[in-house]
Amino acid sequence: MFRIEAEDPYPDIYEATVARNVAEQNSEARPAIKGVIPSIEGYQTVLLGCGISNVEPPMIMRTFVESVDPSGTTIFPFVTYAVSGLGRTIDDYIRLCPGSTIGDGLAIHREEAADAEAEVDTWLRTIGLLPP
């Protein structure tokens, strides 16, 4: 497991984070990731999680997929959200990762994330990563 965190941390204030996110989207930014990004060579399946920002994965997720080159893998996206569900997540990854298969995604409401074990379990069974 690798936790994707920004080298330059996002502000604690929501409005400031929204403003930075919009600026990053508008400029097609690739925010730097903190730490050493591990190689995923040899992995067949990647579970890629994030909180939804402005109806899509934040730009730092693009930094990640462009850094690791997930070609040949199957990516299963999962997100937390407030209103948008998966939003444009699936379309984004299809476009960003043309060498990968993008599998079924999971969207968990942010207020239910702490109690989502059963939902996550069901999803993992549905996508074949746990026995039925």
Ligand X SMILES: Cc1cc2nc3c(=O)[nH]c(=O)nc-3n(C[C@H](O)[C@H](O)[C@H](O)COP(=O)(O)O)c2cc1C
What span, in angstroms and rounded, lies between the C-alpha atoms of 107 and 45? Answer: 18
Please identify, among the stretches 29-37, 39-47, 78-86, 121-129, the one whose residues bind ligand X according to the rule CB under 6 A.
Answer: 78-86
Residue with tokens 């204030």: 13
Q: How far is the CB of 60 from ligand X (least distance, A)?
A: 11
Structure tokens at 71: 């070609």
If one asks whether residue 83 binds ligand X (CB under 6 A), the answer comes out as: yes
74 or 116, CB closer to ligand X? 116
DSSP 47: E
Tell which residue, 103, 27, 106, 92, has the closest CA to residue 64. 92
# residues contacting ligand X (CB under 6 A): 14
DSSP 71: T
10 or 101, CB closer to ligand X? 10
Which spans of this chain sit near ligand X (rule: CB under 6 A)? 17-18, 21, 51-55, 80-84, 110
